[in-house]
Chain A
């Protein structure tokens, strides 16, 4: 008996050693394929044989160059973060050694990973380089995961570039401070300030000029004229192929600036996707329960009834909408889209040649607003509780705010990819030349949108004054100024808007109270808009609609928003 048990024991032990043996085999390729570059600096990489060695090397070097770990949300278009131009410039200027931890490119995954890191205890990277929302920042800030940067930001010896903005552009600074201050008064993040007017008014409407000419119609300026034009498009065969295949008015919620109702609604009441401000700029109001909204719905329903407004716009995805725009014979009369990228071939697309920008239409009450978004800087760059040298980390963050570095973060290497030298800029045309701007930023080589090793694809703090956008090189090919022309035209046509409700930041309690209400109401409003316009729901049920929204907690939302607005007013 005893002998058998001994045998069993022996067999178990043997089995165990076997497992360890095989597992050991598996390990050898891993250590050779990944030479632990994370612990070694790039120069000493080749000399490093094992982990132990790497640590001693790093320790020896820490005297010469200080070390920081940075978790960055990656982009697949960055070739190598360690040898990147921006990394090398940063390391040289600040005498630091940056070691990268990579966060997933998917924002939700990156947030999950961050929360696991933060809640799992233990060491975190010194710096987190990804964009986060206000409530997440507040949560991490109050939990002590992110450090409050206020004192560092007030100390101009640590953050010279940040404090320089205050001197040069106090208005920008005021907006920045408002945007990055959490409701508890802490500042846990830096920001990327990159205002570009083209992006404030994405709901641009393109109308088929060829069709207007074919039918001998004038460019519509009011909602009534527009309805007449749409009726003509629907019935008079403007593309002249004898078949009634025209789709006078379409769009898609899935493309940037493509939701056509947003363009039309602003002829009746100002709406940019949420709450708005009253005329006296004191009260927060909800445009989607106003009479103007009701009139807009009535108007759109008329368009739908006469066969002009394509009901498919409420369900189409981007691919379907693009397929519609790219038909061999142009069938689209009017469409909303942020840019010409949705036509196959962009500016050179044969179908796109038919289109021209339509100015916001004047509604019956004389309103002709453009849907205008606030410029809301992203909040990026956080210093974590594990950082042993927050002053250094802060100085690194501040480094990005220097104009040249901010521009490098977007356009690549100074002198090679872009230049602010007189010699280069004087020969180029500014994007907003039509508005009287001179070129102040020449783009010598466009690195965005292709594999590159020059920058981090704009995942970094940034401060670029809007002057550098308006004065940016229009990248005009010899004699081709179409891009700049459209931008100038867009700027001229789409600038009328009332005072905007600034981006509100809520406390955690407030956020908990309204986040669900907010989602529910906006979903309901969007869904019902389609129902009303397509006639599935009669406008006689408008009162019921108002009551439904009221029941969903609109009052709570408005009151909370009012409190948050009063706080920053």
Chain B
């Protein structure tokens, strides 16, 4: 056994690490298992706290209602649209800018980079952002959701550091010596070599767009353009009763019992796409972040 070769202190250390890791793992996993179990349970079983690990009073009613709800479907499609287009814009902008700033022969690169980093610490507040979006005519359009966060300074720095450190300058000189143009170098050498960092940025921005709530909430007015988190929040809200703000709690109670049975199904519907994407990117994921971190 491999374990034998460790001395007693190490064994103890590993044992404790595993115990703590398993504990953390269970703590993180349990809520998810609960949500999945609850999504297949009846509303009454959930509200009386009978659901622990496995579905109680198995039913598909929650999913039935969720998939028959037209708002959920449009919300889902909108979310896909915002995520795909928003992520595409993020990637193109960030990688291009990151590449330009990674080259040390770009005049003023430092100033530009400073301006980018400046936004990480100081930003306009909600109202000035709203005024900007309104003046651009973006209100209640897809642009309001995908343009304001087109470049995140944090992602930009990851991209830049990656290209600076893991793509040797000599490669550029060699390519130029062979008669390669800047564009061609960027497209056929830098981009293929940047796959790890691209997959990291892809996941970052895709998850960001998929879960994005505040921007869409403020900028979108038409229900046809609502993304899934807005619809989700709407349904979660109707399952809660705050007697102090409601004039007619008895009526709210009726709504709450219905919302109870569908909220968990909806949460599952929201989480699943991200879980599906994750394994495809995961292998690049740790790799990509580490590259930026260790060498940067």
- Interface residues, chain A, with chain B CB atoms under 8 Å away: 7-8, 10-12, 14-15, 18-19, 22-23, 25-27, 29-30, 33-34, 37-38, 71, 74-77, 79-81, 100-102, 104-107, 109, 112-113, 116-117, 119-122, 131, 192, 194, 196, 198-199, 202, 256-257, 318-320, 322-323, 325-326, 338-339, 341, 344-345, 376-378, 448-451, 458
Contacts and interface: CB of A to CB of B under 8 A. Distances in A.
A71 B221 contact: yes
B223 A81 contact: yes
Contacts of B69: 76, 451
A342 B65 CA distance: 23
Interface string B104-119: 0010000000000000
Contacts, number: 179
Contacts of B248: 194, 196, 199, 458
B270 to A, nearest CB: 14
B181 A7 contact: yes
Among A12, A30, A257, the one with the most B-chain Cβ atoms within 10 Å of its Cβ is A30
Contact of A105 (B50, B127, B237): B237
Given A12-B100, A378-B247, A341 B253 contact: yes
Interface string B159-179: 000000000000000000000
A344 B127 contact: no
A116 B139 CA distance: 12
Interface of B: 44, 47-50, 65, 69-71, 77-78, 81, 84-86, 88-89, 92-93, 96, 100, 106, 126-127, 130-131, 134, 140-143, 146, 181-183, 186, 217-218, 220-226, 230-231, 233-235, 237-238, 241, 243, 245, 247-251, 253-255, 257-259
Given A33-B81, A71-B221, A79-B70, A450 B247 contact: no
A192 B88 contact: no
A356 to B, nearest CB: 19
Contacts of A450: 258
Query: By DSSP majority rule, is chain A's interface helix, strand, loop, or mixed?
Result: mixed
16 contacts: A26-B85, A26-B86, A27-B142, A30-B141, A34-B224, A74-B223, A75-B234, A76-B231, A76-B235, A76-B259, A106-B237, A120-B130, A194-B247, A322-B48, A323-B50, A449-B255
B93 to A, nearest CB: 6
A2 to B, nearest CB: 14
A449 B258 contact: yes
B249 A199 contact: yes
Given A11-B182, A26-B89, A320-B49, A37 B222 contact: yes
Contact of B183 (A14, A38, A338): A14
B238 A76 contact: yes
Nearest to A196: B248
A232 B100 CA distance: 82
B70 A102 contact: no
A73 B6 CA distance: 63
A131 B243 contact: no
A38 B89 contact: no
B47 to A, nearest CB: 6
Contacts of A121: 131, 134
Nearest to B80: A29
B181 to A, nearest CB: 7
A116 B93 contact: no
A537 B147 CA distance: 58
A74 to B, nearest CB: 6
A26 B88 contact: yes
A34 B221 CA distance: 12
Given A25-B88, A77-B238, 14 more contacts: A10-B182, A18-B92, A18-B96, A22-B89, A23-B89, A30-B142, A33-B78, A76-B69, A76-B238, A100-B223, A102-B220, A102-B226, A338-B250, A377-B247
